Structure 1
Amino acid sequence: MPLAPTLTPRTNASRPRPRVGRDFVAALARAIVEGRYPEGSTLPREQDLCGEFSISRTVVREALKTLESKGVVRSRARAGTLVRSRAEWNLLDADLLDWMGDAVVDAELLAAVLEARRAVEPFAAELAAARASLAEIAALHAAWEAMRDAEPHDDDAFTAADAEFHRILLRASGNRVFVQLSGVIDAALTRALDRANRSVESHLHTVEVHGRLVEALRMRDAPAARRASEEMLDTAARDLRRLA
């Protein structure tokens, strides 16, 4: 997805103004994460934003409501709109990750995603060895095949198949909380996988380990499934260190 438009005033004719609606909220989010409106600062008044960007007050209010729902700002009666601490932002939100991009997908967030995966995925793999249906194992195998068959250097296709593999694995665990967690962390997990996949010249080892997990589920071998999952995570940790 393209980067959010740059937030610029009307007087700067060299840069495009954001359009209404979604473009404006994306531009405002980007301006916040890039430091134009730092944490703890107060955003310009609604009427000032309207005049600066030639947009209606309705558009401004909807944008502020959207950012407030994602934990980025807080409206205060008679005091304006405060930019909240980054620790309070919902950085697992798919929209924020799209709008703010690399500015928020940093080493700290990637490490946190990896820690969450370490806490969940090996046990999910064990459960899947006992609980996965034949259809789920077939779906996992199909995702693995898509990873294997992705064209060399087609990181987008490889990551899409990789992310689908992990979604299916959590569903196959039969644990409803894990399934819900999959939806919550999906956008951040996909970003983390994409970063890791782009950091290596070859995906052969990743494909091999994922294949071993599929085979462990076919054989209903829970210890082997856990070992394969843990090796995936060790590989992800190595890639994260490379990125750092």
Structure 2
Amino acid sequence: MTLASSMDRPARGRSRPRVGRDFVAALAKAIVAGRYGEGSTLPREQDLCAEFSISRTVVREALKVLESKGVVRSRARAGTLVRPRAEWNLLDADLLDWMGDAVVDADLLASVLEARRAVEPFAAELAASRASLADIAALHAAWEAMRDAEPGDDDAFTAADAEFHRILLGASGNRVFVQLSGVIDAALTRALDRANRSVESHLHTVEVHGRLVEALRMRDGAAARAASDEILDTAARDISEFA
């Protein structure tokens, strides 16, 4: 059953979210599913209270959460409007979770890849001279987790892949890159997941990540940058399979 149909069922047959966070997620998913389109006005507070059997406090807090994420805008005497999707904070982990495949489209995947191309090769080059032995050991452990993931266990592979890139940015010693890692982490994980699920084998991905670890061990900045570039080229090919 789709989200839209589940929210449109008669009240008697619906499992009503009673916890604030559940209501935020339900309302966000209804917006994503198109029940409330861009530029439309959400139902009045009292109507939402009645539909979901929740208090006005829960409704108001939920609307504040969605407003903080750029999804809606509250205006005096005009109600709460759904903002254009282009204005939503698409790097927000909650939004990515609520939106699911509705947001993980070719455009977002390409945008994440462009951001990675602007940052990761230089971060890898910096890490070749700045990474501590502990950083390199952690990167190697993440690579081993990628290598040892069971065939078909894309969740485990993606988790290790995402951890690899988080460690790499941290190992660069650049504080801005570290902050950036936290900002784009959810979107990066989604992009890696989609790319990893687009191919039958991860052997080449594992191989090139291993070359990056070895380049850091050898303190070879040029080789580290080259390996990072190849990782991104591989990601681009994998994403093209999705598109």
TM-score bin (small chain): over 0.9
TM-score, L = length of structure 1? 0.95
CA RMSD of superposed structures (Å): 1.6
Structure 2 letter corresponding to 1:222: G
Structure 2 letter corresponding to 1:59: V
Please tell me whether the aligned partners of residues 4 and 100 of structure 1 are also in contact (alpha carbons under 8 angstroms): no
Q: Which residue of 2 aligns with 1:200?
A: 199
Number of residue pairs the alignment of both structures matches: 242
Q: Which residue of 1 aligns with 2:37?
A: 38
- Cα distance in 1, alignment partners of residues 190 and 48 from structure 2: 32
Once the 2 structures are TM-superposed, how far is the Cα of residue 64 of structure 1 from its aligned partner? Answer: 0.3
- Cα distance in 1, alignment partners of residues 131 and 223 from structure 2: 15
Once the 2 structures are TM-superposed, how far is the Cα of residue 18 of structure 1 from its aligned partner? Answer: 2.7
2:56 aligned with 1:66? no
- % same residue: 86
TM-score, L = length of structure 2? 0.96
- Cα distance in 2, alignment partners of residues 77 and 10 from structure 1: 31
| 1:78-93 alignment, distance < 5 Å | 78-93=77-92
Once the 2 structures are TM-superposed, how far is the Cα of residue 114 of structure 1 from its aligned partner? Answer: 0.4
| 1:1-244 alignment, distance < 5 Å | 8=7, 11-244=10-243
- Cα distance in 2, alignment partners of residues 5 and 213 from structure 1: 45
- Cα distance in 2, alignment partners of residues 207 and 169 from structure 1: 15
- Cα distance in 2, alignment partners of residues 6 and 151 from structure 1: 36
Structure 2 letter corresponding to 1:163: A
Please tell me whether the aligned partners of residues 40 and 82 of structure 2 are also in contact (alpha carbons under 8 angstroms): yes
Once the 2 structures are TM-superposed, how far is the Cα of residue 87 of structure 1 from its aligned partner? Answer: 1.0
SS at 2:116 equivalent: helix
Change (3 A) 1:149 1:37: same
- Cα distance in 1, alignment partners of residues 237 and 10 from structure 2: 48
Please tell me whether the aligned partners of residues 8 and 17 of structure 1 are also in contact (alpha carbons under 8 angstroms): no
SS at 1:13 equivalent: helix
Please tell me whether the aligned partners of residues 114 and 233 of structure 1 are also in contact (alpha carbons under 8 angstroms): yes
Structure 1 letter corresponding to 2:229: E
- Cα distance in 2, alignment partners of residues 49 and 172 from structure 1: 48
Gaps of 5+ in 1: none
Please tell me whether the aligned partners of residues 93 and 187 of structure 2 are also in contact (alpha carbons under 8 angstroms): yes
